[in-house]
Structure 1
Amino acid sequence: MGIKVGITGPVGSIKSEALAKVMEMLQNDGKVIEGTLMSEKSEHGKLYSYFITDILTKKKIEFARYDLVSRVKVDKLGVDTKALEELLIPSLEKALEEADIIVIDELGKIENATKNIKNEIEKVMKSEKEIIITLHKKSRNPVLQEFRAYESVRVFDITPINKNILPFKIVKVLNGEEESI
Structure 2
Amino acid sequence: MALRVFVTGPAGVGKTTLVERVAKEVDRWGYLVGGMITKEVRRNGRRVGFRIKALDTGEEGTLASLRGTSHLPGVPFGRYIIHVDELERVGVSAIRRALVEADLIVIDEIGPMEYKSDEFVKAVGEVLKSEKPLLAVVHRKMADRFRPLGKTHVLSVENRNREFGVILDEIMKELKS
How does the TM-score come out when normalised to structure 2? Answer: 0.86
Report what 2:56 is aligned to: 56
Aligned length in residues: 170
Contact kept in structure 2, 1:54 and 1:91, CA below 8 Å: yes
Contact kept in structure 1, 2:87 and 2:114, CA below 8 Å: no
Distance 2:114 2:6 in 1: 15
Q: Which residue identity is paired with 1:160?
A: V
Distance 1:17 1:99 in 2: 20
Contact kept in structure 2, 1:111 and 1:121, CA below 8 Å: no
SS in 2 for 1:119: helix
Report what 2:163 is aligned to: 166
Residues 43-74 of structure 1 show CA distances to partners (whole Å, capped at 9, x for unaligned) of 2343211100000000111131112464342x
Distance 1:20 1:89 in 2: 18
Matches within 5 A, 1:1-181: 1-66=1-66, 67=68, 68=70, 70-73=74-77, 75-137=78-140, 139=141, 141=142, 144-150=143-149, 153-176=150-173
SS in 1 for 2:2: coil
Give the Å deviation of 1:32. 0.9
SS in 1 for 2:161: coil
Contact kept in structure 1, 2:51 and 2:62, CA below 8 Å: yes
Q: Which residue identity is paired with 1:26?
A: V
SS in 1 for 2:7: strand
Q: Which residue identity is paired with 1:127?
A: S
Give the Å deviation of 1:111. 3.4
Q: Which is helix-richer, 1 or 2?
A: 2
Give the Å deviation of 1:38. 0.3
C-alpha change, 1:71 and 1:18, in structure 2 (3 Å) is closer
SS in 2 for 1:175: helix
Distance 1:158 1:2 in 2: 22
Q: Which residue identity is paired with 1:169?
A: V
Contact kept in structure 1, 2:82 and 2:113, CA below 8 Å: no
Distance 2:146 2:131 in 1: 14
% same residue: 24
SS in 1 for 2:170: helix
Contact kept in structure 1, 2:2 and 2:133, CA below 8 Å: yes
- RMSD over aligned CA atoms reads 1.9
Distance 2:126 2:60 in 1: 23
Distance 2:93 2:17 in 1: 25
